[in-house]
Amino acid sequence: MVLFFRRIYAMILRHVYLFMCSWPRVLELIYWPFLNMVLWAYMSKFLSEYSNIFLMASGVLIACVIMWDTLFRGQLGVTLSFIEELWSRNLGNIAVSPLKPIELVLSLIVASFLRTLVGVGGAGIAAYFLFDFHLPLFGIGFILFFINLLIMGWALGLAICALLIRFGLSAETFAWAALFFIQPLCGVFYPVSVLPEWLQPFSLIIPATYIFEGMRLAFFDGVFGIDLLLKACLINIIYIFVGVSLLLFSYSHAKRNGLLLGNGE
């Protein structure tokens, strides 16, 4: 058991070292979430001068963007941590080592959590000091919203890692683009009800939809949507199960087909 944790620790250490050696990577972590937050904060300020809705729920756009970044950075954290091994042609060394595939999965998740904490946490703190931004005080409820977004990001990130193992770096585009494909569907900045009716059922199978709806409910009506949280949790259980399974399956496929030593472009 000690070795199990030590191997995961080794993989986390690898990413911590990488960030210690590369300040541009640290800046990149903080830069985009911060920039996004500032942009939407000023947009929110502008809109609140003309719209009662934004005046009533000041900060809703900042919350939207911070929560979206939690989801995006969660996914990107998993995928980029894995892509680093492909970029550095190190996957062969890792495959030969005693690290088990499930330990690789756990290490990617922890690495993603730390990346997201630095990136989005930084933007959240900046929003607090620069724009007097506060999340509605629902105690642990809102933390669970964030955790659900992270889990969905991890699930998607692991699925993309499965593609990277299968197709090498030619699948890298998915790391950056996949989540933006579902962004219009999960109602980050608007309620799902504005979507065409035929599109709305697709929204309902995305856990983030319920989280963003729940967030708006909290801001506009001051109500914590526990039912929305539960729905997100239930779908997320399926998502994370599928994400982990896809990566393990892809790893096993790579073992049958010799993709672990020569993975690259």
Please report, as ranges, the residues that interact with other proteins according to CB under 8 A: 3, 6-7, 9-11, 13-14, 17-18, 21-22, 84, 88-100, 255-258, 260-261
Query: Closer to other proteins at the Cβ: 52 or 257?
Result: 257
**Residue 115 CB, nearest approach to other proteins (Å):** 16
Query: Closer to other proteins at the Cβ: 57 or 86?
Result: 86
Residue 258, phi-psi category: left (phi > 0), alpha (psi -120 to 50), beta (remainder): left
**Residue 182 CB, nearest approach to other proteins (Å):** 32
Query: Closer to other proteins at the Cβ: 182 or 259?
Result: 259
Query: Closer to other proteins at the Cβ: 85 or 213?
Result: 85
**Residue 13 CB, nearest approach to other proteins (Å):** 6
Residue 22, phi-psi category: left (phi > 0), alpha (psi -120 to 50), beta (remainder): beta
**Residue 152 CB, nearest approach to other proteins (Å):** 29
- Helix pair angle (60-87, 140-167), 10° resolution: 30
Long-range contacts of 254-261 (CB under 8 A, 24+ apart): 254/165, 254/166, 259/165, 259/166, 259/168, 260/91, 260/92, 260/95, 260/165, 261/91, 261/92, 261/95
